[in-house]
Structure 1
């Protein structure tokens, strides 16, 4: 090897980059990452970035509350698989993002949140609209940055986006002091490490294959990790190859189409009885992209008591965290599922599971003339077709959507699973429509949830987003009332919402078409109107305040002990 000398080194022909403002670096960094939409609300500390936005390739969506920005970015990230971007000013702007950041963290959604901050010399002086958003969000982000040098902005943004979408996705926060946004510098070079791809553990794979081959009653239990990894094709191939019955968590719905004959339904607290009974009888549980969450398992030490466990997850920290696995496999879910070879003999078991599914199927012929929400949702999802995306708020209607709607892909069911965020539905509908403009996006909400972010009706109107909103109004905080009825001796405390506004008139005041129904005979026409109306529309459906979600597993109870008090 020869040592180069100054004489034989060619001169650098690349000119040094010109100094530009930090705000311009932010806009250019977002463009390099392929960002097309950002959701935000301007203010003092972030104003330099807003000054740099006009003329860029970015489309800014002005929400009416910063929480709406974060939740819309969350939905955008779920649908596209790319980090959704939200932006807010310092102080209350930043703190209003916190719920949406936490929502993305608990559901492993890629997001980059950008917050303005007071100028660097003022940090720590209790300056106007100064809060330590870096410290506030530490437990609910994958990583966070405070920009200390203008030149580092491009490198920080590149690293933030890489972190948000890699491994187990999640939110990353970038706090931008105002002097860093207005200051100028030549951008520093961007250097990112090559991503690591861990090989499949062949010994663990062989052990798992042996367990599958020897199982008489294996069950596939899958969760939101499948959709995060875009592993639906591999999961479906594995299920078809083995003939294995399957159950899903709330976030897993759609990874195998819900109308697949071998799919038994959602398991857990509000799961289908056939699904919970199958888990109880299984001798092998193949857990893919799920984490043995308490809402899925019920009383953990009574969950799948006869089953050995194969746990497959993209995050090695989840394997064995709550339930010991005989075999754990971490890494690329698709590669792992494709590598399995065993095909068990399970004809009798599959027939038993199919019989449980048939025996415990829902009856939609409810008595009376009132609107029965499960039947309306089933009919709506069938009418909406394969291009439908449902975004849900939180409460009884959320569980009815999970139980009764048809999903053919995980991205068709956007719901706040880990945090249970009321007010998620409308902003999520905005994010979903901008991520997939050709989809039929339907927000299902309740009269409690919709009031949390009802101001986003203005955003829907401004951008002419054809969101279909189905609002179930029982004049109650329904899920809280149900628990007070069943577990708190009917001591109904602070759940009365009988002073609700006329929601159709509220929508009209925002310039959105709306109508009200309160009888079963009106349901078919309402569904057709929702689907066929070209622009945004809200259907206000009044339902019986005494209606409950069934089945229900009481807290700290095995999933086999399901309460079911339908007519």
Structure 2
């Protein structure tokens, strides 16, 4: 979606936001010395350059930090960032800039901001912006462009179509053609990034406009409303009034800022609460009704056991799934394995997400917070008496989970499940934990007990490797007094490991825990059963001691279970950034997510496809073509 800043384009953009546009006067730029401009709450007004207008608008919109790398087309902007004392963080790669803004946004609930140059700056950022789009994370990208208008010439450096590149990975792109349009473009981008289902947006500004000047006039904005389908809510209420139905809540990222209301509703309905991966933390996982993530075979044992509607016990399972602020995406459902339930109510702020995987009894287009508030007003109509049986079943299932996790499968080095458990034991409840795309992400989703909202983070729906290192840095910049750690595989480390130099340069005390088994173990777990060999999964042996020295950070090595807890404590107690290598051995440890997805995928193969896989496995079992690399 692109918004050109003609009068028609402005109104189209505002229609998408659900607000009324207040158009800036179409005044011509005024030459000569700049007059003092005025900054009031919600107002960007005065005679200023385009670069000044960008920074003034970012400040009015509450920006705490800008992430990125300066370039020829944006040097004017970065100079004004410094002059206006708006904090910025230089990174090593624009992919990292997008991930830093993502980590900032997930940990604060506010839009992260990046400033990037056209061409390679834009293309480098696309993976991170795509992660934010699919994971519903608000980012505003201020993107330089080649000169346009009378200043534009053919064959300029970086002369790609920036807008066309950005459109697939954003909710909308605002293209500026006149300097006086800059404040409105940026403010529209912030509004679109945060309204409805959050996501990234971009503002594309030709670099020649940054040094041009004009009279800006962007008034204060009215708050954007949120949806609430009253008629659909009443239909959902009719189902929930049936107190013979056992309700189970499936909560997603949309519930993250409504933890207290979610807990109240769960207790009101005596409903067990499972979350999506992105929703981890929206209810304390220590709460008696919390069952972990999932509720299908890919999630926690407790969630599957408690939600299971096929059990014969009269108090087992749930009859009605109340899904709130969640999309039923492939990763969180383990290849779409969450059962629909006998009855199903789906609540989401984005109508496009409703009923896409299951066919609910009722789809409610509503903000999760308003839905909770309205449901709590109907407490007398929907409340259930305290059900000790369900709490006892949850407690018993948790005991079984602890038992299942206690065994170590490592033959040498450390079992990654033990790393997850040791980190949870050593960290305080409000530590920020960033988990990367490793096989261990599923172990962490199961076993890392999350106690507070916005403390556990995982790239979910774009699965961008290397995300956690820059995302953690972005969050640490926003939360200088908080403990921030990453759990990263050695393959993911290869993607963004040099960004640790940013932690050293800026004194950002992130603790980087690297699971090192010199392999893409995730791919090995997927390839070996299907092909009886692995392909392109072996990684080089790295000298992490030398790497840490070269990057300028402290180093800690953990090579056995015997020094696991002491090694973690030592790293956490160090005042600055630390690179921690953990010699890792998965052994024969099974991972519920991988096992269940493999079973589902196999079940969906045609008989011909199954026979082809079986024949190939049979040949390789006797020793032909069985070479791993």
Fold shared by both chains (TM-score > 0.5)? yes
Aligned residue runs from structure 1 range 368-387, under 5 A: 370-387=413-430
Aligned pair partner of 1:273 in 295, 301, 305:
301
Give the equivalent residue in structure 2 for 1:73: 101
Q: Quick check: 1:24 aligned with 2:52?
A: yes
Aligned pair partner of 2:541 in 500, 504, 510:
500
Give the equivalent residue in structure 2 for 1:470: 513
Aligned pair partner of 2:384 in 321, 344, 350:
344
1:443 aligns to what SS in structure 2?
strand
**Cα offset, 1:363, TM superposition:** 2.8
Give the equivalent residue in structure 2 for 1:537: 578
Q: Is the 8 A contact 1:471 1:538 kept in 2?
A: yes
Give the equivalent residue in structure 1 for 2:205: 176
Aligned residue runs from structure 1 range 17-96, under 5 A: 19-96=47-124
Deviations 1:38-94 (A, max 9, x none): 001011111221232222130111101111111000110111111100111111011
Q: Is the 8 A contact 1:84 1:112 kept in 2?
A: yes
Aligned pair partner of 2:591 in 532, 550, 556:
550
2:441 aligns to what SS in structure 1?
helix
Aligned pair partner of 1:483 in 526, 531, 543:
526
CA 332–15 in structure 1, closer or farther in 2 if over 3 Å, else same: closer
Aligned pair partner of 1:238 in 254, 257, 265:
265
CA 307–350 in structure 1, closer or farther in 2 if over 3 Å, else same: farther
**Cα offset, 1:440, TM superposition:** 0.7
Q: Is the 8 A contact 2:335 2:597 kept in 1?
A: no
Q: Is the 8 A contact 1:223 1:248 kept in 2?
A: yes
Q: Is the 8 A contact 2:249 2:274 kept in 1?
A: yes
Give the equivalent residue in structure 2 for 1:326: 361
Q: Quick check: 1:402 aligned with 2:429?
A: no
Q: Is the 8 A contact 2:228 2:365 kept in 1?
A: no
> How far apart, in 2, do the equivalents of 1:186 and 1:496 lie?
59
**Cα offset, 1:559, TM superposition:** 13
> How far apart, in 2, do the equivalents of 1:384 and 1:298 lie?
28
Q: Is the 8 A contact 1:168 1:315 kept in 2?
A: yes
**Cα offset, 1:114, TM superposition:** 1.0
> How far apart, in 2, do the equivalents of 1:56 and 1:299 lie?
48
Q: Is the 8 A contact 2:268 2:384 kept in 1?
A: no
Give the equivalent residue in structure 1 for 2:407: 365
TM-score by length of structure 1 reads 0.90
**Cα offset, 1:504, TM superposition:** 2.9
CA 191–31 in structure 1, closer or farther in 2 if over 3 Å, else same: closer
Aligned residue runs from structure 1 range 220-239, under 5 A: 220-227=249-256, 230-239=257-266
Give the equivalent residue in structure 1 for 2:562: 521
> How far apart, in 2, do the equivalents of 1:260 and 1:224 lie?
18
Q: Is the 8 A contact 1:298 1:555 kept in 2?
A: no
Unaligned runs of 5+ in 2: 1-35, 39-44, 310-317, 605-629
> How far apart, in 2, do the equivalents of 1:97 and 1:303 lie?
33
Deviations 1:94-143 (A, max 9, x none): 11111111111111111101111110047694421121121012122111
Q: Is the 8 A contact 2:64 2:478 kept in 1?
A: no
Q: Is the 8 A contact 2:321 2:341 kept in 1?
A: no
Give the equivalent residue in structure 2 for 1:128: 157
**Cα offset, 1:387, TM superposition:** 2.1
1:479 aligns to what SS in structure 2?
helix
CA 176–506 in structure 1, closer or farther in 2 if over 3 Å, else same: same
Give the equivalent residue in structure 1 for 2:10: none
> How far apart, in 2, do the equivalents of 1:15 and 1:388 lie?
41
CA 196–317 in structure 1, closer or farther in 2 if over 3 Å, else same: same
1:295 aligns to what SS in structure 2?
coil
Q: Is the 8 A contact 1:298 1:558 kept in 2?
A: no
Give the equivalent residue in structure 2 for 1:290: 326
Give the equivalent residue in structure 1 for 2:339: 304
Unaligned runs of 5+ in 1: 1-13, 562-567
2:491 aligns to what SS in structure 1?
coil
Deviations 1:438-497 (A, max 9, x none): 2110011010001101111111011101101111101110111100122x2322000001
Aligned residue runs from structure 1 range 76-155, under 5 A: 76-121=104-149, 125-155=154-184
Deviations 1:297-318 (A, max 9, x none): 3464x64254210111121221
